[in-house]
Amino acid sequence: MWALYVVGPELERLLGPLRYLAVYLLSAVGGAVLFYYLAPDALAAGASGAVFGLFGAWFVATKAPAPGHPRIVTLIAINLAFGFVVRNIAWQDHLGGLIVGAALTAAYAYAPRKNRTAIQLAATIALVVILAVAVIIRNGQLT
């Protein structure tokens, strides 16, 4: 929650409230989807995938060599390492959230000026579809 408090408000200012909400929620879903693929028999709960998505978003939004960039890389590395070292931490969820948050923010940040909003919306919808199809595929593999 501390990370959300530190990164959240500035990231919301950079992305705008709707894009920020999309990054947060889809990062949570992306983390859950990767966890579902890599640890389907395990149980997990929490918002860590969403928070890692914000870390990924911050990394993309601040672009090197911004002053906050080395700190976010260090924060990501330390927190990812915890997931691999400490038992009962869902590193799969962290990694999935990080990937989705960075990817969606890249789509937002690097969308061309012409038709920017439409392209950003299309990227968001495409990511939702990709995540939904991934779940459908995994469901089929497990049944």
User: In angstroms, what is the C-alpha Rg of the chain?
Assistant: 15
Which one is catalytic: 48, 79, 92, 105? 48
Residue 41 CB contacts under 8 Å (≥ 6 apart), including other chains = none
The answer to whether residue 69 is catalytic is: no
Which one is catalytic: 50, 54, 62, 94? 94
Burial 18-40 (b: 16+ CB within 10 A, else e): ebbebbbebbbbbbbbbbbbeee
Cβ 28 vs Cβ 72: under 8 Å: no
The answer to whether residue 48 is catalytic is: yes
Cβ 90 vs Cβ 83: under 8 Å: yes
Q: Which residues are catalytic?
A: 48, 94
